[in-house]
Amino acid sequence: MTTWVYVDETKRAGYVIAAVTVTDPEPARKIVRGLVLPGQRRLHMKHEQPSRRRAIVSALTTMSVTATVYDAARRYRTEREARSACLAALIRDLAAGRDTRLVIEQDDSLLPSDRHELF
């Protein structure tokens, strides 16, 4: 069985990547699709009001997932170095031999660096 790992970041207080592991993505997709409002293409907490954020988080906590947080804090000079360190740690953790599909929220400015780091 394939394990899906969805990855996104925040740059608010240093640099943090969250990796959410899902063994059966269909129920999770259904919940997330139900949270997308008319006119929205996707969810992004950055664009949501606090009450909406609480509702989204409440719905997400009903999912059967595991989250791992990789925190580069402020130990690196650049965002690229911090992201690289987080991705390296994530890949080391995923190298345990499972059949894994990795889905990373794309940051176009860091795409060349991500490709170098991942491949």
- pLDDT digits 0-9 by tens, 100-113: 898 988 778 778 87
- Spell out the residues 6+ positions from residue 115 whose beta carbon is closer than 8 angstroms to its own: none
Choose between 16 and 96: higher pLDDT.
16
Half-sphere exposure of 44 (CA within 13 A, CB side): 9
Q: Are 76 and 85 a contacting pair, CB within 8 Å?
A: yes
Percent over 70 (pLDDT), the chain: 99
Q: What's the CA gap between 21 and 33, in Å, rounded?
A: 18
pLDDT tens per residue, range 60-75: 999 989 999 999 987 8
Q: What is the pLDDT of residue 21?
A: 92
Residue 90 class from Cβ within 10 Å (0-12 exposed, 13-18 middle, 19+ buried)? buried
**What pLDDT sits at residue 97?**
65
Identify any residues that bridge with 22 across adjacent strands, giving them in sequence order: 4
Helix 111-118 to helix 79-94 angle (10° resolution) is 30
100-104 sheet: strands from edge to edge: 66-73, 15-22, 3-10, 100-104
pLDDT in tens, 27-82: 999 999 999 999 998 888 888 999 999 999 999 999 989 999 999 987 888 888 89
- pTM for the whole structure: 0.82
The pLDDT score that the predictor gives to residue 99 is 86
